[in-house]
Amino acid sequence: MAMLKALVVDDASFVRDLVKRTVRQRFPVIETMDAQNGRRAQSLMSRTAFDLVLCDWEMPEMSGLELLQWMRAQPQYEKVPFIMITSRGDKDHVIEAVRGGVSEYLGKPFSPEGLSKKIIKVMGRKLKDAMDHSGKSMASPADAFKESATLLTRKPEPAATPPVSEPSSPPAAGNAATPRPAAGRGTMSLASVRFAESTLKSVVKDINLTEVRVIAKRDQVFPGILDQAVVDIETGEGQMARLNGYVHQLQAVDKRQDTDFVSVTIRFVDEDPKKLEDLSRFIARFRAGTP
């Protein structure tokens, strides 16, 4: 029987399900509920007492930072642990979250082990006493991650725009450090794809509202199929889109065993209208071949 309550807040249902499954597998004494944005979370927290909040930063209606600030102003939530789980890991945002009263900060993509360590750190004795009282043992974080694989393989919604067509010839081996741009484009669109343990420098080859396909040099550290990913793309005017997703496909660019380039397809899971709007603008510029 669950003795503690945790609230998981994220606009992407995939991320909410992944966090909840990890928590249930690792900490069976914690019951989880979820909300798709800060406004919904605020409503739930006004009716139910929670012992832990795990929250994204960028969400429609009310952001994670706004929820944190509201929460710290409530006597019943002044000291309740709040873990910010977000792709915004730059120093300024970390400082802003700390000033807002965040308990811990976990960057996306995260591993089940990393999430578990943060929960143990912020819950402390309260979690240990609950686990001891229930006689439950902590499951392996790897087990939780394996169980979540079914979430990753769900069929995505149809793309709002078709993918950009691929030139017939792949980049030649031994060329410069990055692949050539697609035919007819005056510039290359670069992307950094972040994983739990590495970052992949790449060039955008095809993109639509459902997924992106990038080309990367083989001499980098590559992820595994179904690994979580965050795709960082410059969308123009100094703005950066941080798109959450997972690895759908890895494929050699050509049939040679010593090929220099690998194609990586990332399926998006974000449901934030603002992110989709930014992505749509980037796709329009990508198709036009403008920076």
d(CA 251, CA 239): 30
Would you give the distance in Å from CA 63 to the centre of its chain? Answer: 16
- 254 and 196 fall within a common domain: yes
**For range 24-42, the mean pLDDT:** 95
Degrees (nearest 5) of the Cα angle 274, 279, 284? Answer: 130
Kindly report the CATH number assigned to the domain that includes residue 143: 3.40.50.2300
Percent residues over pLDDT 70 in the chain:
80
Banded model confidence at residue 45, pLDDT cuts 50, 70, 90: very high
Distance CA 93, CA 177 (A): 32
- Is residue 185 pLDDT above 90, yes or no? no
How far apart CA 169 and CA 175 sit, in angstroms, is 14
Mean pLDDT calculated for residue range 16-29: 93
What CATH number has the domain bearing residue 211? 2.40.10.220
Alpha-carbon distances, residue 69 vs 42, 66, 96, 98, 213 (angstroms): 11, 5, 11, 11, 38
Residues 144 and 11 in one domain: yes
Give the burial string for 222-233 (b: 16+ CB within 10 Å, else e).
ebeebbbbbbeb
For residue 56, pLDDT beyond 50: yes
157 assigned to some structural domain: no
Q: Which residues pair with 203 in a beta bridge?
A: 190, 215
- 135 plus 209 within the same structural domain: no
- Using a 10 angstrom Cβ sphere, with 0-12 exposed, 13-18 middle and 19 or more buried, the burial of residue 96 is middle
90/61 Cα distance (integer angstroms): 23
Same domain, 200 and 141: no
> How far apart are alpha carbons 39 and 27 in whole angstroms?
27
- Give a yes or no: residue 280 inside a domain: yes
Same domain as 41, residue 135: yes
Query: Is 172 inside any structural domain?
Result: no
What token pair was written down for 99?
């000033």
Indicate the number of domains in the chain: 2
Q: Is residue 166 part of a domain?
A: no
- For residues 65 and 8, state if they share a domain: yes
> 26 and 143: one domain?
yes
State how far the Cα of 227 lies from the Cα of 232, in Å rounded to an integer.
Answer: 16
Q: Is the pLDDT of residue 77 over 70?
A: yes
Q: Is 177 left (phi over 0), alpha (psi -120 to 50) or beta?
A: alpha
In a domain, 171, yes or no: no
Q: Which domain holds residue 18?
A: 4-152
183 pLDDT band, cuts 50/70/90, is very low
Please provide residue 282's backbone torsions phi and psi, each rounded to the nearest 5 degrees: -65, -40
Domain final position from 123, 152, 181: 152
Q: Is residue 164 part of a domain?
A: no
Do 143 and 195 share a domain, yes or no?
Answer: no
Q: Which residues contact 143 (CB under 8 A, 6 or more apart)?
A: 25
One domain, residues 127 and 235: no
User: Does a structural domain hold residue 204?
Assistant: yes
- Strands 30-35, 4-9: pairing kind: parallel
Q: What is the pLDDT of residues 123-157, one digit of tens each?
A: 999 999 998 888 766 554 444 444 444 444 444 44
Q: What is the mean pLDDT of the chain?
A: 82
- Closest alpha carbon to 260 in 219, 201, 204: 219
> Does position 13 have pLDDT exceeding 80, yes or no?
yes
The torsion angle over the Cα atoms of residues 112, 115, 119 and 121, rounded to 10 degrees, is 110
Sign of the CA dihedral with 113 first, then 145, 128, and 47 last: positive
Please indicate, yes or no, if residue 36 is contained in any of the structural domains. yes
Question: How high is the pLDDT of residue 2?
Answer: 61
- Beta strands (DSSP E) in the chain are 4-9, 30-35, 52-55, 82-86, 104-107, 190-194, 199-207, 211-217, 228-236, 239-252, 261-268
Statement to judge: residues 147 and 195 lie in one domain: no
